[in-house]
Amino acid sequence: MTQISDLVKPRLNQIPSSLIRRVNQKYSQIDGIVKLTIGEPDFNTPDHIKLAAIQSILDNRSHYAPNRGTSELLQAISDYVSRRYHLHYDPQRQLIVTNGATEAISTVINGLIGPNDVVLIPSPAFSLYETVTLQNGGTPVQIDTRDTGFKLTPALLQSYLETYAGRVKLVVLNYPNNPTGVTLSPDEIQGLASVLKQYPVAVLSDEVYSELSYDVDHQSIARLLPEQTLYVNGVSKTYAMTGWRVGYLGGPEDAISLLAKVHQANVATIGTLNMDAATEAFTNGDATRVA
């Protein structure tokens, strides 16, 4: 008798389940524990955001939303990143609302990476980058940053870009970093940008922890390399909305129009009421965000 598991892609057997989730499940039942496992803020979603979701339900906004997101949320995101980080994205052409930042990351890697393509990942790192790369037959290459204070330096980056010349398609930057908490100064970001602009590679900049930068003013590499950067962020950490599953992906119009096909095939769209809550967060939440 044929077993369905025999028909699943063989490479999935080589990918372990999430260590973060296994550890979280194992220790979550301990009374009084302070969990530093799954990036959960220690406060609740602010009331004005919850009330916006309730009003959305009462207004019967329970039907399919546009694939890329509601026009209200797309505009709110565009205004927010311009206000906070001086990034400029056309709301209808350069943004996609995703099922959390994780789906934004998956959309990028699923859309760009194929067999033997190399993804450079500064390590330690969130496991999703490697997992989705392997699912697509790509080669995740970990860049060990222990000797540089857990920071990717221009020299280190250039050495790996040269070592894997012609194969690197994507470079992951995750600052502030999960799990180390390390972030980069504007000068350090500028140094990486100076190297990256010399190579035909895309940058996946996961900045979901951008509001948790307390000693350094956060600067996005998307501001310096807008044509090479695919920018990922969301509401999970900033507004304690991890369970609402609202993230977003920004980038050059031509790339976003193609990646929107990956997003549409995977999730079609996220819940309308979740987007209405996120719209309230971005529009009226500056006083209640985590920072």
Region of poorest pLDDT, from 7-16, 208-217, 279-288: 7-16
Q: Is residue 83 part of a domain?
A: yes
Residue 133 belongs to domain spanning: 45-284
- 168-173 β-sheet, strand order: 95-98, 247-250, 229-234, 202-206, 168-173, 118-123, 139-144
Q: Is residue 231 part of a domain?
A: yes
pLDDT band at 96; cut points 50, 70, 90: very high
Q: Is residue 26 part of a domain?
A: no
* 291: number of Cβ within 10 Å: 12
- Residue 154's domain is classified under what CATH number? 3.40.640.10
Average pLDDT over residues 136-150: 97
pLDDT band at 19; cut points 50, 70, 90: low
Q: Is residue 63 part of a domain?
A: yes
Give the bridge partners for 206, in sequence order: 232
Pick the more confident residue, 28 or 122.
122
pLDDT digits (tens, 9 = 90+) for 211-258: 988 888 899 999 999 999 999 999 999 999 999 999 999 999 999 999
Region of poorest pLDDT, from 9-18, 204-213, 257-266: 9-18
Q: For the chain, give the number of residues.
A: 291
Query: Do 262 and 95 contact (CB within 8 A), yes or no?
Result: no
Q: How many domains does the chain have?
A: 1
pLDDT over 90 (residue 16): no
Q: Is residue 112 part of a domain?
A: yes
pLDDT digits (tens, 9 = 90+) for 30-43: 887 776 667 778 78
CA distance 21 to 208: 19
Predicted local confidence at residue 258, as pLDDT: 98
Predicted local confidence at residue 20, as pLDDT: 63
Q: Is residue 129 part of a domain?
A: yes
pLDDT over 80 (residue 204): yes
pLDDT digits (tens, 9 = 90+) for 146-191: 999 999 999 999 999 999 999 999 999 999 999 999 999 999 999 9
Predicted local confidence at residue 214, as pLDDT: 86
Q: Is residue 24 part of a domain?
A: no
Phi/psi for 121 (5° steps) reads -130, 105
Q: Is residue 175 part of a domain?
A: yes
The identity of residue 63, as a single letter, is H
